[in-house]
Structure 1
């Protein structure tokens, strides 16, 4: 996960060693370097999810907790203990008003940012099976989740209810990731082991498939016009171009730009 500011950006990652680490990529003298900016040991088990919006940062882990941080003061501001299983994924809504979380305990939860009140929870979002990933549409009105029940589910965040479910068991028994594209959110992607399928919202079908030699652990959509300045750092290599969207990979690992 990264945040950008001018000519520099910050990469924030969670580790299996329970640490939340941050590195700023900035100019030091005549060259650019990664300078450590965060080293938090708040979790008691591996960190599985990290997300941010403006100055807010949230991390979730196998210790079943969600830790909240202020990136201005660089201090922890609170802990959410709603889940009873590993927190697999966290996402802020685009307007930063809500934090959405999903867990191995089978639940999908929505917290109001600020007072951190639990606004909505679906205890058995995927029939009681673990929920592996959640992605919020750029409009903030919809969300997608994938879970261990081999389904892709769509959620109406305006009305706070399930919209519909799609069985994807023929492609993957336990899909691990789902991601909306940016902009108008016209596409979304779901990886199935070594293949990544890109779906069109308009046609409700697969418009492109990417076959790789190893398992796809995660991916992201990047708008070329917004992120072309990053190319000069030579940190990413392009594999596929779909209209104005770049999907970039670093072997089996990808950087997710938020």
Structure 2
């Protein structure tokens, strides 16, 4: 398996990079930048450009992938689709009547998109030709959407009215609505993660029992069963919070508009701040687990000045930390970022 990272940009470019390990001779290694070298100066990890596509009529605002298809939401009201394997455009799909703010996938079966006009669309993505299954509407602009990764039957949304809403995707009926005083802009589920059994012979998937809500200054983690708060963090000394991703069900990485990355541990109820991770506002985060070492993760971060950076974290080690690996400048203003593990 190899990792790829994709970024949408204000200049209408969609860019994709592959994270590669290049083995160099000693003479070649001495010419590498210091941040790109390994300790023995033989293995160099870098981001290698795979494609750079310019097809949207207006700026791209969000990007998401299920590992087979890339979907980019645009301010021209369309969702642009691309085949990850063949690197070819699949054409736009249109139903929203305003800027598409957010997109999320459930495996290779469903795509859910939300827009500035309050519309939420549920798409069949089982083939390369997407078809609209259902549509429902909120009173305010949809800011984020996240589909529960176990069954795909439940979706969470946040809207400009300051509500977190839980939807039954089978019937598109509102299950319940939760007003939040501090107006959240992002909601997210933890991913399905593999763990080894006590015998070490079998792997099991994690159970989803929580979700996170992110605002400008506050991160809350709620129980799925009763909606009660599992943990709450007020982070107000390093800029406004922009993005969040679960690393594990007990660890999150959060970014800010001041360019900082913050590890948030639910187990220890503490935050670990990495200042000056970027020189400008961080617009996108993505996390990929290591298939061979289940306690190791790769974190991708993208900022508005065009830089994508790669970090690694070993959650089994103390103290918790993010270790810088490499970077690339896409030379455009990044608006969103996602990643995937692709079969070579």
TM over 0.5: yes
How do 1:1-258 residues align onto structure 2 when only pairs under 5 Å count? 5=1, 8-29=2-23, 30-94=43-107, 96-113=108-125, 114=127, 115-122=129-136, 124=137, 126-127=138-139, 129-139=140-150, 140-168=152-180, 170-172=181-183, 175-183=184-192, 184-212=207-235, 213=237, 214-223=239-248, 239-243=263-267, 253=282, 255-257=285-287
Distance 1:202 1:165 in 2: 14
Q: Normalising by the residue count of structure 1, what TM-score does the alignment of the two structures yield?
A: 0.83
CA contact (8 A) 1:13 1:22 kept: yes
CA contact (8 A) 1:219 1:247 kept: no
Question: How big is the shift at 1:160?
Answer: 2.8
Q: For 2:130, what is the secondary structure of its paired residue? A: coil
Match of 2:257 in 1: none
Q: Number of aligned pairs?
A: 234
Q: Which has the higher contact order (CA 8 A, sep 6+)?
A: 2
Q: For 2:240, what is the secondary structure of its paired residue? A: coil
Question: How big is the shift at 1:54?
Answer: 2.4
1:218-248 CA deviation, whole Å, 9 max, x = no partner?
1110138xxxxxxxxxxx976222349x999
| RMSD of aligned Cα (Å) | 2.5
Distance 2:68 2:224 in 1: 31
Distance 2:73 2:246 in 1: 23
Q: Which has the larger radius of gyration?
A: 2
Q: Normalising by the residue count of structure 2, what TM-score does the alignment of the two structures yield?
A: 0.63
Q: 1:218 to 1:121 in 2, by over 3 A?
A: same
Match of 2:34 in 1: none
Distance 2:65 2:7 in 1: 11
Distance 1:135 1:58 in 2: 15
Question: How big is the shift at 1:25?
Answer: 1.4
Distance 1:89 1:217 in 2: 14
Q: 1:157 to 1:247 in 2, by over 3 A?
A: farther
Distance 1:54 1:44 in 2: 25
Which blocks of at least 5 consecutive residues in structure 1 are unaligned?
Answer: 225-235
Structure with the higher strand share, 1 or 2: 2
Which blocks of at least 5 consecutive residues in structure 2 are unaligned?
Answer: 24-42, 193-206, 250-259, 288-338, 340-344
Match of 1:232 in 2: none
